[in-house]
Amino acid sequence: MDWNQIIQNTIRAAIGVDAIYFAIAALGLNIQFGYTGLVNFGQAAFMACGSYGLGMTAQYFGIGLWWGIPLGIVFVIVLALIVGIPTLRLRADYLAIVTIATAEIVRLFVRSVKLRNIFGGTEGISNFSREYRDLNPFEPGKTYGFAPFKFSGYTLITVLIGWVLVGVFAFLVWQLMRSPWGRVIKGIREDEDAVRSLGKNVYAYKMQSLVIGGIIGMFAGMILSLDRGSVQPDNYSRDVTFYILTALVLGGLAKVSGSIFGSMLFWVIFVLSDNVLRELTRNGPIRIGDFTLIQSTQVGAVNYMFVGLGLMLLMAYRPQGIFGNKQEMALDGR
Amino acid sequence: MWGSSSKIRKLAMKTLLFLTTALTVVGFAPAGSFAATDSDYSIIASVQNQTLVDGSTSRTPLEGVTIKVTKVDGALVGQAVTTADGLCTIPVLSRDDYVIEIDLSTLPDGLTLIDADKQKVAINRELFTTNTKRVTFFTGRGADAGASTAERILQRLSDGIRLGLIIAMCAVGLSLVFGTTGLTNFAHGEMVTFGGMMAFFLNVNLEIPILISGPVVILLGGLFGLLLNWGIFARLTKRGIGLISQLVVTVGLSIMLRNIYLFQFGGRTKQLSSYSKQVNLEIGPIGITPRDLTTAILGIIVLISIALFLQRSRLGKAIRAVSDNVQLASATGIDTRKVIKFVWFAGGALAATGAIFRGLDEQVSFSMGSDLIFLMFAAITLGGLGSAFGALIGGVFIGIFVEMSSLYFPSELKAAPALFILIVVLIFRPQGILGKSQRVG
């Protein structure tokens, strides 16, 4: 790999599938966390709902792939009820604890050996996306586009559909937040008691926000598994939620463009750091004297260390992110 | 005003940098020196025959039993026949999911498995805590199957109490910090892991026996807690950063610390060198090593001391007062900042204590704390967020409940019953057993 290639990879990361599914998941998380103030740390589980919804149609029910969407929505609603009913009346931290726990349990369930014939265990589910592949007008093996935006026909269709979805959801979120519903939602974030005193059912609004955000997150999981051609339980670990959260905070909470640009920027930085470190350690570890600074097997850990540090610094010094508006940052309104 | 805020900003930035470098450079030796034995992975199967003699069980190893290891999809990985010590080792390529099966036709006549549905044991990648994973098959005659159910329950109870003591010890700090500052610290698991890393460094790399290095580790854990408060959370609070934002900071801190541990320690689980090989003592029907018995007794002593400290001492009373009502406490002349500092110190020290016990009980790994954090949350929610006594009771209860439930639940889903408790408690008694009831919208 040379530096030219690294620069191309970095630029391509801005519009690649990773940035797309992060952007969609972040748009959903933004409704919950940015606009409503719900600390949902289980967005990965909502994404898994979509993936397993798709995967199970073919594997388990033997029905068309597109039934995965209603199936996924059912999963999302069930999950939102499980985490929402006990916690939405309580302080924000309870939702954080329960969502993170539920997401982890969901992952353990779908990867368990006992339920292997339903969810496919650790290998997950593959061979479900045939219908989708058949729809692809591009030739899978051919490369389309121009440098640095080169994609194989196999990926290109997902990239195109993905960006259309990002556009649709961005428009939807934007319109929702301009609507009376959105004003109530933002009111809940600012002062829950005030909204309640206006006669609004805060509990119901919070639940709706959780479900809508979850359904958008579900599409992120679908895009991911359509691109990978398989449903993998370990794509939905708790850290995935935190990386999406980092992307969201980076772009700016409570801002539609923030979710999208934040995800693009997250992946640009991540791919750049990853590629550069891998290039530097390719011919052996970096040493300062006798001290081994970093070797190639440690590159992954270093990247995620930076993600964690970045999230801390952002929250401490620029909680509104790059594009956000400080006035919209009323996470601690209550 | 801007000047001073940017000064604080610079200071905080420096602190963060210091924290990172201190952890990477001072705390640990250069990468690679951590290397313990780096052999390949293997599965050790053990076949033990249980007989009931004078009301107590005795176990004898069985020779000549065939054990097969397959991948989850059924592909054969390897098979072996047990030797005179009832053991056989089957090397496997990687830390992965496997199914271990005992060939019943090779058992001596009249013997069968005590637990008929344990003929195949599934090992999850995540249960692979060391390079070797040990699986034991218990055989016996049909007659003592009844006795063995009771025995299994007692064994689980004993395991559960040990797990519960560790959870309780770790969770007290989490609950105290929540009680006094209102912060839900998602990085508390990493404070536990810090203790484990330090214990490994002192015990294995510097070869200091755990009896001497233990207190040092506990002190280091306390200082680490103080450092986090001084370097991050006290500053954030001073700058008026809200609790939810601080909660997100703890998430970032947790990701960062966990990856620092991964960077230095590597992804494998490793054993502390003190007391690593011990033979089971048979106390009635329960098999427990002298080490585990000692840690359990020590654990009970630690928990009782915490309870007495909170109940009797001046500082303990001050902590409870601050947890109860910060404004009122400071109005009565309690220095709340001092109390908060102490709580971080105590929380870190207790987390490190729990980590040493956990490290002796199981092994040390970069994720040992984050694997427990969820059980800790269940424990403090059950006990009542912010209540230290609640955390003690909740921790022990969760430990026992989780171990007992694995009698009926596959062990890879051990955490699910804890979630079930969490949700039931939040629906019916959100303030927990000992918590202060809050206004619920």
pLDDT range class, residue A249, cuts 50, 70, 90: very high
Residue range A3-328, CATH number: 1.10.3470
B263–A301 CB contact, under 8 Å? yes
Spatial separation of the C-alpha atoms in residues B352 and B133, rounded to whole Å: 26
CATH number of the domain enclosing B133: 2.60.40.10
Residues B64 and B191 in one domain: no
pLDDT range class, residue B439, cuts 50, 70, 90: very low
A307–B16 CB contact, under 8 Å? no
- B23 vs B112, more confident: B112
> Where does a domain end: B81, B116, B140?
B140
At residue A184, the pLDDT reads 95
**Residue B148 falls inside a structural domain:** no
The answer for residues whose C-beta is within 8 angstroms of residue B83's C-beta and 6 or more apart is: B63
At residue B37, the pLDDT reads 35
* Percentage of residues in chain A having pLDDT higher than 70: 97
Say if residue A59's pLDDT is above 80.
no
Where do we find the tokens 């987390």? B351
Mean pLDDT of A19-30: 96
A309–B184 CB contact, under 8 Å? no
Say if residue A243's pLDDT is above 70.
yes
Say if residue B231's pLDDT is above 60.
yes
At residue B58, the pLDDT reads 66
Spatial separation of the C-alpha atoms in residues B416 and B402, rounded to whole Å: 8
Q: Which of A280-284, A292-296, B117-121 has the lowest mean pLDDT?
A: B117-121
- A window 69-88, beta carbon within 8 A of B: 82, 85-87
At residue A183, the pLDDT reads 94
CB-based contact B426:B441 (threshold 8 Å):
no
Distance of CA B62 to the CA centre of its chain: 33
Residues B117 and B185 in one domain: no
**Residue B29 falls inside a structural domain:** no
Residues B416 and B311 in one domain: yes
- B220 vs B134, more confident: B220
From its phi and psi, is residue B386 left (phi > 0), alpha (psi between -120 and 50) or beta? left
Residues B174 and B79 in one domain: no
At residue A133, the pLDDT reads 83
Residues B101 and B226 in one domain: no
Mean pLDDT of B20-31: 43
Backbone angles phi, psi at A95, to 5 degrees: -60, -40
Backbone angles phi, psi at B139, to 5 degrees: -115, 165
pLDDT range class, residue B309, cuts 50, 70, 90: very high
The three-state DSSP-derived secondary structure of chain B is: CHHHHHHHHHHHHHHHHHHHHHHHHHCCCCCCCCCCCCCCCEEEEEEEEEEEECCEEEEEECCCCEEEEEECCCCEEEEEECCCCCEEEEECCCCCCEEEEECHHHCCCCCEECCHHHCEEEECHHHCCCCEEEEEEEEECHHHHHHHHHHHHHHHHHHHHHHHHHHHHHHHHHHHHHHHHCCCCCCHHHHHHHHHHHHHHHHHHCCCCHHHHHHHHHHHHHHHHHHHHHHHHHHHHHCCCCHHHHHHHHHHHHHHHHHHHHHHHCCCCECCCCCCCCCCEEECCEEECHHHHHHHHHHHHHHHHHHHHHHHCHHHHHHHHHHHCHHHHHHCCCCHHHHHHHHHHHHHHHHHHHHHHHHHHCCECCCCCCCCHHHHHHHHHHHCCCCHHHHHHHHHHHHHHHHHHCCCCCHHHCHHHHHHHHHHHHHHCCCCCCCCCCCCC
HSE, side-chain direction, 13 A CA sphere, residue A25? 35
**Residue B406 falls inside a structural domain:** yes
- B180 vs B22, more confident: B180
Nearest to B171 by CA among B393, B337, B365, B325: B393
HSE, side-chain direction, 13 A CA sphere, residue A140? 9
Please tell me which residue of chain B has the smallest CA distance to A204: B441
Nearest to B54 by CA among B146, B144, B149: B144
Q: Which of A63-67, A161-165, B75-79, B400-404 has the lowest mean pLDDT?
A: B75-79
Give me the residue spans of the domains in chain A. Answer: 3-328
At residue A199, the pLDDT reads 93
**Residue B52 falls inside a structural domain:** yes
Q: Which of A238-242, A290-294, B125-129, B429-433 has the lowest mean pLDDT?
A: B125-129
**Residue B131 falls inside a structural domain:** yes
Residues B105 and B209 in one domain: no
Where do we find the tokens 């398989």? A230
Determine the length of chain B: 441
Mean pLDDT of B272-300: 76
Residues B319 and B378 in one domain: yes
At residue B128, the pLDDT reads 67
Say if residue B52's pLDDT is above 80.
no
Mutation target vs B (from A239, A312, A329; most B CBs, 10 A cutoff): A312
**Residue B30 falls inside a structural domain:** no
Q: Give the C-alpha distances (Å, rounded to integers) separating B36 from B229, B256, B268.
A: 33, 24, 10
Residues B322 and B412 in one domain: yes
> Where does a domain end: B140, B173, B206?
B140
pLDDT range class, residue B35, cuts 50, 70, 90: very low
At residue B141, the pLDDT reads 63
| Number of separate domains in chain B | 2
Distance of CA A301 to the CA centre of its chain: 20
At residue B42, the pLDDT reads 79
All residues of chain B having their beta carbon less than 8 Å from the beta carbon of residue A328 are none
CATH number of the domain enclosing B336: 1.10.3470
A331–B419 CB contact, under 8 Å? no
Say if residue B53's pLDDT is above 70.
no
The answer for residues whose C-beta is within 8 angstroms of residue A307's C-beta and 6 or more apart is: A242, A243, A246, A270, B252, B255, B256
Structure tokens at A203: 């509990």
Q: What is the pLDDT of residues A187-217, one digit of tens each?
A: 998 888 999 999 999 999 999 999 999 999 9
* Percentage of residues in chain A having pLDDT higher than 90: 54
Q: Which domain holds residue B103?
A: 42-140
All residues of chain A having their beta carbon less than 8 Å from the beta carbon of residue B72 are 113, 116, 121-123
pLDDT range class, residue B432, cuts 50, 70, 90: confident
Mean pLDDT of B79-97: 80
Backbone angles phi, psi at B390, to 5 degrees: -60, -40
Residues B99 and B197 in one domain: no
**Mean pLDDT, chain A, integer:** 88
- A179 vs B405, more confident: A179
Structure tokens at B382: 């059950």
**Residue B23 falls inside a structural domain:** no
Q: Give the C-alpha distances (Å, rounded to integers) separating B77 from A11, A305, B69.
A: 43, 36, 5
CB-based contact A236:A51 (threshold 8 Å):
yes
Say if residue B20's pLDDT is above 60.
no
Say if residue B118's pLDDT is above 80.
no
Strand duo A125-126 + A230-231: pairing: antiparallel
How distant is the Cα of A44 from the closest Cα of chain B, in angstroms? Answer: 15
Q: Which segment, A16-30, A48-62, A149-163, B141-155, is predicted with the most confidence on average? A: A16-30
Q: What is the pLDDT of residues B339-376, one digit of tens each?
A: 999 999 999 999 999 999 999 888 899 999 998 998 99
Residues B198 and B243 in one domain: yes
Residues B111 and B170 in one domain: no
Mean pLDDT of B167-172: 93
Mean pLDDT of B12-24: 51
B412–A295 CB contact, under 8 Å? no
At residue A64, the pLDDT reads 79
**Residue B31 falls inside a structural domain:** no
CB-based contact B251:A99 (threshold 8 Å):
no
Say if residue B303's pLDDT is above 80.
yes
At residue B32, the pLDDT reads 37
A305–B256 CB contact, under 8 Å? yes
pLDDT range class, residue A261, cuts 50, 70, 90: very high
The single-letter code of the amino acid at A217 is G
Nearest to B251 by CA among A137, A307, A199, A165: A307
Residues B99 and B214 in one domain: no
pTM: 0.80
Say if residue B437's pLDDT is above 70.
no
